[in-house]
């Protein structure tokens, strides 16, 4: 009886080991037969598009250090994006696996001159592209330069960019990840200008695309994500600074960190909760808006000579109100409703929207907007105060 039991145990162990070996061989064979795409760069050319694909180098671990590059770059042109991708097959006979792509980067020139509608339409209808892929535009550089940049900490730039976006969302609040379906919805509904993050480089040195860039403790070229870019219809219209982007994202209730001047010093508050309401007001055939932002935050640091909470709250409220008013004024001067005032009319009063929408271009630059800010800073104590 014992011999049969041991024989059964031995058979089970051999079967499990065989399954592991076989599955590992199948996995290795599959990985070797496909090219796993991590990022897609789109730039325009005289007769179409130039596509840059960043593919995972399976010979290296993407998040490890070493001489082996974490990614391999393929670049080809075509009259269409799909044709450019097919042209890459002439250099890379493996099946291109697009489902793994984490990022679409569109070059500044392409976004300004040709627009992004055709690009979005392709990737939204392409069954091999994941719906969770993120999209951004470049500033000052083509998408190919961003894709080729070798970064510290992560050997694959697409992963590094997504890590920076995630960290910014949690801490600084000047960038928010955006998916193509969200941008396309804004374009099709045409009641709010689209906005997506932008990425640039800290230096224009060519060393950024070589392993030499990460051989020093202080790399010469770094990826920089500071804010949001806004569009007019489907074409890039401009970039918001870091502080403007924080105010812009505040309209969508994002958390952020604010730094405010107080005399010769500064203080920092981390906003944990934020709620912004935009209310259209109709009076005697005229329209105006009331913008109210209510926040709750924690005091992180203060070098102010006077640091009682009501004083700091008042200082921060005034600063935020002025910054909100400044961003609204910029939007009105450019006659570009990237803040979404018309969308609020649509959501709150669909009947009035039909009337307002017809003459919004004439109304928006002069429409009155009243801003109100309410900040509550939680008392976290004072280590300098003796009980």
| pLDDT tens by residue, 217-234 | 566 677 888 899 999 999
pLDDT band at residue 71, thresholds of 50, 70 and 90?
Answer: confident
Please check the confidence at residue 130 and state whether its pLDDT lies above 90.
no
pTM: 0.83
Q: Is 295 helix (H, G, I), strand (E, B) or coil?
A: strand
pLDDT value of residue 317 = 93
Average confidence (pLDDT) over 119-136: 86
pLDDT band at residue 365, thresholds of 50, 70 and 90?
Answer: very high
pLDDT value of residue 12 = 54
DSSP state of 81: H
Q: Among 106-115, 187-196, 335-344, which stretch is predicted with the lowest mean pLDDT?
A: 187-196
CB 153 within 8 A of CB 160: yes
pLDDT band at residue 23, thresholds of 50, 70 and 90?
Answer: very low
More confident residue, 2 or 256: 256
pLDDT value of residue 221 = 73
pLDDT value of residue 291 = 96
Average confidence (pLDDT) over 129-152: 87
Percent of the chain whose predicted confidence (pLDDT) is above 90: 38
pLDDT value of residue 384 = 45
SS3 content of the chain, % helix, strand, coil (to 5): 40, 30, 30
Please check the confidence at residue 210 and state whether its pLDDT lies above 70.
no
Q: At what angle do helices 117-125 and 180-189 cross, to 10 degrees?
A: 130
CB 220 within 8 A of CB 203: yes
Please check the confidence at residue 266 and state whether its pLDDT lies above 60.
yes
pLDDT value of residue 258 = 86
Average confidence (pLDDT) over 147-153: 75
Please check the confidence at residue 340 and state whether its pLDDT lies above 60.
yes
Averaged pLDDT score across all residues of the chain: 81
Backbone angles phi, psi at 68, to 5 degrees: -75, 120
More confident residue, 108 or 125: 108
Work out the angle at residue 196's Cα, subtended by the Cα atoms of residues 277 and 152, and round it to the nearest 5 degrees: 125
Average confidence (pLDDT) over 80-103: 81
Q: Among 102-106, 216-220, 260-264, which stretch is predicted with the lowest mean pLDDT?
A: 216-220
pLDDT value of residue 129 = 80
More confident residue, 329 or 175: 329
More confident residue, 235 or 125: 235
Average confidence (pLDDT) over 195-200: 94
Please check the confidence at residue 325 and state whether its pLDDT lies above 90.
yes
Please check the confidence at residue 353 and state whether its pLDDT lies above 80.
yes
* Model pLDDT for residues 233-248, shown as the tens digit of each residue: 999 999 999 999 999 9
Please check the confidence at residue 379 and state whether its pLDDT lies above 80.
no
pLDDT band at residue 31, thresholds of 50, 70 and 90?
Answer: very low
pLDDT band at residue 332, thresholds of 50, 70 and 90?
Answer: very high
What whole-number distance in Å separates Cα of residue 45 and Cα of residue 41? 13
pLDDT value of residue 383 = 43
pLDDT value of residue 380 = 62
Q: Is 77 exposed, middle or buried (0-12, 13-18, 19+ CB in 10 A)?
A: middle
More confident residue, 289 or 129: 289
Please check the confidence at residue 213 and state whether its pLDDT lies above 70.
no
């Amino acid at each position: 009886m014992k011999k049969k039991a041991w024989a059964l145990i031995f058979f089970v162990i051999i079967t499990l080991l065989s399954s592991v070996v076989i599955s590992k061989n199948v996995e290795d064979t599959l990985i070797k037969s496909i090219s796993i795409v991590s990022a897609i760069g789109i730039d325009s050319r005289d007769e179409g598009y130039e596509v840059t694909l960043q593919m995972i180098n399976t010979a290296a671990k993407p998040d490890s250090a070493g001489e082996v590059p974490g990614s391999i770059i393929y670049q080809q042109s075509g009259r269409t994006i799909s044709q450019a991708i097919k042209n890459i097959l002439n250099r890379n006979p493996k099946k291109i696996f697009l489902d793994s792509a984490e990022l679409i980067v569109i070059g500044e020139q392409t976004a300004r001159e040709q627009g992004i509608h055709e690009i979005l339409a392709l990737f939204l209808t392409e069954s091999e592209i994941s719906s969770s892929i993120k999209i951004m535009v470049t500033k000052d550089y083509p998408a190919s330069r961003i894709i080729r940049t070798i970064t510290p900490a992560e050997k694959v730039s697409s992963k590094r960019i997504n890590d920076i976006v995630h960290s910014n969302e949690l801490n600084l609040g000047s960038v928010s990840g955006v998916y193509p379906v969200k941008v396309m919805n804004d374009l099709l509904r045409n009641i709010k200008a689209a906005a997506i993050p932008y990425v640039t480089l800290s230096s224009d040195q060519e060393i950024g695309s070589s392993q030499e860039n990460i051989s020093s403790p202080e790399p010469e070229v770094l990826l920089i994500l500071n804010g949001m870019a806004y569009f007019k219809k489907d074409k890039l219209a401009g970039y918001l600074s870091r502080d403007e982007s924080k105010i812009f994202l505040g309209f969508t209730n994002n958390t952020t960190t604010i730094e405010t001047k107080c005399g010769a010093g500064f203080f920092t508050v981390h906003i944990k909760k934020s709620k912004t309401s935009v209310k259209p007001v109709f009076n005697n055939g005229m329209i105006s808006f009331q913008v109210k932002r209510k926040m709750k935050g924690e005091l992180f640091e203060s070098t102010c000579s006077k640091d009682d909470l009501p004083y700091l709250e008042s200082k921060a409220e005034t600063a935020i109100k002025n910054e909100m008013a400044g961003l609204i004024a910029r939007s009105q001067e450019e006659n570009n409703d990237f803040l979404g005032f018309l969308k609020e009319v649509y959501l709150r009063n669909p009947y009035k929207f039909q009337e307002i929408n017809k003459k919004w271009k004439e109304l928006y630059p002069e429409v009155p907007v009243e801003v109100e800010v309410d900040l509550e800073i939680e008392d976290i104590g004072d280590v300098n105060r003796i009980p």
